[in-house]
Amino acid sequence: MSISLSDVEGSVRRLKERINSKSFTRAVGKGTVNDIEILIRYYESTKPCVKVSQCEVRSMYNMYVAAEGNIRRLLEGFLETMVTIRSREFAALYPFMPSDVKDLLKPLLSSNVDEGIREVLRNLLSNLNQLGSVLLSIAKREPGDLSGCEGNRNSAGGC
């Protein structure tokens, strides 16, 4: 049996109408009406969230690990080439680079080139590593744990 989003939304709409009816409340009881209200609030708070299975998150994390390694090797090679083979051109171009790029590449001008390359890599990959940490924490969650997806009732954004 396939359930579409429009079927679920239609059911929620009908239940909202029914729980406001006194005859429905008498027929099913106040406890059942309260339970239905809780389920509706939960559905509405999690509706804007994207739901993925832990298997999908593990797969994304594995892809992230492979991509992060490839990016790291590419950047290491690029930075080493820029500093060693093209050092004169790099030094000549550095003053004309945008300030944010200069700030990022400043460690390459240090006397310890290897440490400078490692520092630039750390800075470049810091945002990528944050993504990996989030994916890993989601992949480690217990099945059915939606704690990262429950909407904050005080905000309009949902997730």
Give the 3-state secondary structure of 75-88: HHHHHHHHHHCCHH
CA distance 107 to 116: 4
**pLDDT the model gives residue 85:** 65
Q: Is the pTM of this model over 0.85?
A: no
**pLDDT the model gives residue 35:** 92
CA distance 132 to 71: 13
Q: Which of 2-6, 48-52, 80-84, 131-135 has the lowest mean pLDDT?
A: 48-52
User: Where along the chain do its domains lie?
Assistant: 7-46, 54-139
Is residue 143's pLDDT more than 90? no
User: Per this entry, what is the length of the chain?
Assistant: 159
